[in-house]
Structure 1
Amino acid sequence: MDEQKILTEQLHAQKTSDAEFSTQKILIVEPDAVPERIDKYLSERLSGSRSFLQKLLKENRVSAGGVPVKASYRICAGDVIRVDIPAQSEPDILAEDIPLDILYEDDDLLVVNKPKGMVVHPGAGHYSHTLVNALMYHCRDNLSGINGVLRPGIVHRIDQNTTGSLLVCKNDFSHNFIAGQLKEHSITRRYRAIVHGKISSDGTVNAPIGRHPVERKKMAVNEKNGKPAVTHYRVLEQFEKFTYIECVLETGRTHQIRVHMSSIHHPILGDDVYGPARCPFPGLQGQTLHAQVLGFIHPRTGEYMEFSAPLPQYFEELLEKLRQM
């Protein structure tokens, strides 16, 4: 939103039982904005579920021109909208004895092969059985604390139904070092995927990715508000209605491969967000996407290291089915 001025003031968390707030967000409606309900306007600009925003409106925590408004209020050009977001206590995250498939480990970091269906770190609706719960048990207190109590050790992540290589940092030194490589796009990340349709040749998708303009929980190719995103893909094997490909990331945007492949009309098989509503293989859980290769410079030794996570069994079996069709 190039023309929208957004001011955010971080306030101290109030540990009281009344209507104190920890964060105040002020949004000034663009001069050329089309009048629309304020709940819709906020859902496209703020994080949080629609029900959470509705709750703020009902509690008179949203005002326009200094006056509390309801969800039905229609925004006008120049409106100064203030949203008071209450302090929320962070839940206790417990260590859980969950087996980990560890590809590599030393005193600074470890590389794990994340299984399908496992959420990387706790969040709304997922405060147990996550990778972080398992890491807390395995590493005890040896995890970086830069990303807070909900994401100890986590320097990057992959989606719940994406499998494969994930790097975890045991201390702040390694976390900062790896984060620098991620920022410079110097980490090697190669994925395997099965996509809909026949792709005849290798290619590159160079298209910015940002929040979907209508569906807040989705990402999309967004020329106006997106961040640069580049995905290279290589054809590995063709089938009658699908193609097995390798994707190499230059950038690491949320849902990047899923959004990019969908944007060129080759969504990932099984993707229930960016692909067809009906999956041709009943029982397939989420996108057929695997983070196979992860390469980086070790923070302590300065040496380049590269690890490969084997394709999961479901992926191998699916490839065999396609070869026989």
Structure 2
Amino acid sequence: MNEKNQLVINASHHNKRIDKVMSEELNDVSRAQIQNWIKSDHLLINQHSVKANYKCQSGDIVEWEVPEVTPLEAKAESMDLEIVYEDEDLLVVNKPKGMVVHPSAGHPAGTLVNGLLHHCQDLSGINGVIRPGIVHRIDRDTSGLLMVAKNDQAHQSLAEQLQNKTVKRSYIALVHGQIEHEYGTIDAPIGRDPKDRQRMAVISDGKEARTHFEVLERIKDEYTLVNCVLETGRTHQIRVHMKYIGFPLVGDPKYSIRKTLDMNGQALHAKTIGFYHPRTKEWLEFEAEPPVIFTETIEKIKL
């Protein structure tokens, strides 16, 4: 364990939550990490365990130690993966809703990478041992199609196509509200939300982000089914952009309205992916229908 650190709470932090105070004091540590330290008793106040919502009092002595980092290792796990396409250079997989793409501190196992390592041993190593073969990602609760590279040559080619914006990526999303116009383009830069580092937001100094959308169906006066085409691929791009124009995704726990539908995450599905084969240069395009929970939700709200 690393050496113990100490902080005395002053008047400016009086009656503030301890997790908020520490995230302000330690700029390079997220609030979520601090909450984990509190849960595991790596952070104490006056030598006692507390909860993350503890209100600090002037004079409190905070002591903490940074836990040793456990090296991550991606291990092969047997899974029933839906492989849409596969050859010697790459594969396209339909990731289920609820599955994380690659291991991380909070998800050391049960990820898509763990299943891919069991399915095939020859994955590109450009992104290291934790993300073998992973060229791009989609959120845990977003379902749909992903390209996976089996060798470094394929990885470089697919990554260049993403950078050059020649990869076709379209998603279907169910949003709150009725979009009146048939087509639209959202051109708004995205970066970390300065008020909440766990979220993304449209900010003036963010990275270029562009989403094109088309209305597929208006459902009563409350919902719209849209097709979204990514020109760029920023974190949470569709979720942030649709919220920005006033039509947040149904079921989105991070960016939607409070009275949203329970879909175990956002109603977003990566339906189509198209790209040039790294070796043959042939254009390949694949489609996958959304999961049952997506289609069943649409049928229910039509009743």
Tell me whether the two structures share a fold, i.e. TM-score over 0.5.
yes
**5+ residue gaps, structure 1:** 1-16, 20-35, 59-70, 73-84
Q: Which residue of structure 2 lines up, in the alignment, with residue 97 of structure 1? A: 78
> How much does 1:323 deviate?
2.6
* 1:210 and 2:191 are equivalent in the alignment: yes
Match of 1:23 in 2: none
Residues 244-263 of structure 1 mapped to structure 2, 5 A cutoff: 244-263=225-244
CA RMSD of aligned residues (A): 2.5
Distance 1:46 1:177 in 2: 35
Once residues 111 and 22 of structure 2 are traced to their aligned partners in structure 1, the CA distance between those partners, rounded to angstroms, is 35
The answer to whether residue 296 in structure 2 is matched with residue 312 in structure 1 is: no
C-alpha contact (below 8 Å) 1:190/1:247 kept by paired residues: yes
Residues 266-281 of structure 1: matches in 2 within 5 Å? Answer: 266-279=247-260, 281=261
Distance in structure 1 (CA, Å) of the matches to 2:289 and 2:191: 31
- 2:52 paired with 1:51: no
Which residue matches 1:40?
24
* Separation of aligned partners in 2, 1:237 and 1:292: 16
**Where does structure 2 lack aligned partners over 5 or more consecutive residues?**
4-19, 44-55, 58-65
Equivalent pairs, count: 263
Partner residue of 1:78? Answer: none
Q: Distance in 2 between matches of 1:132 and 1:183?
A: 23
TM superposition shift of 1:88: 3.5
Cα deviation per residue 1:281-307 (whole Å; 9 max; x = unaligned)? 34x210000000001111010111111
Give 2:24's aligned amino acid: K
Decide whether aligned partners of structure 1 residues 97 and 234 sit closer, same or farther in structure 2, where only a CA change above 3 A counts: same
Q: TM-score, with normalisation over the residues of structure 2?
A: 0.80
Q: Structure 1 residues 18, 316: CA separation in 2 closer, same or farther (over 3 Å shift)?
A: closer
Give the distance between the partners of 1:199 and 1:52, measured in 2 at CA: 39
Show the counterpart of 2:151: 171
Q: Residue 39 of structure 1 contacts residue 53 of structure 1 at CA under 8 Å; is this kept in 2?
A: no
Q: CA deviation at 1:322?
A: 2.6
What corresponds to 2:129 in structure 1? 149
Structure 1 residue 38, shift from structure 2 partner: 7.5
* Residue in 2 that maps onto 1:196: 176
CA gap 1:46/1:319 in 2 versus in 1, 3 angstroms: same
Q: In the alignment, is the contact (CA less than 8 A) between 2:184 and 2:212 conserved in 1?
A: yes
Quote the residue 1:220 is aligned against: 201
Q: Deviations over 1:240-291 (max 9, x none)?
A: 2000000000000000000000011100000010001232x34x21000000
Letter in 1 for 2:109: S
By how many angstroms is 1:42 displaced?
4.4
Q: Could you tell me how far apart the structure 2 residues matched to 1:128 and 1:134 are?
A: 9
**Quick one: distance in 1 between partners of 2:73 and 2:241?**
37
TM-score by length of 1: 0.75
Distance 1:304 1:315 in 2: 29
Compared CA separation, residues 206 and 46, structure 1 to 2 (3 A): farther
CA distance in 2, matches of 1:50, 1:316: 36
Q: Is the 8 A contact 1:169 1:175 kept in 2?
A: yes
Instruction: Provide the C-alpha distance between the structure 1 equivalents of 2:176 and 2:236, rounded to a whole number of angstroms.
Output: 17
How many Å separate the matches in 1 of 2:110 and 2:150?
20
Between the aligned partners of 2:36 and 2:253, the Cα distance in structure 1 is 25
Q: 2:91 aligns with which of 110, 129, 140?
A: 110
- Structure 1 equivalent of residue 246 of structure 2: 265
Opposite residue 298 of structure 2, the aligned amino acid is L
Contact residue 23 and residue 31 of structure 2 kept, 8 A: no
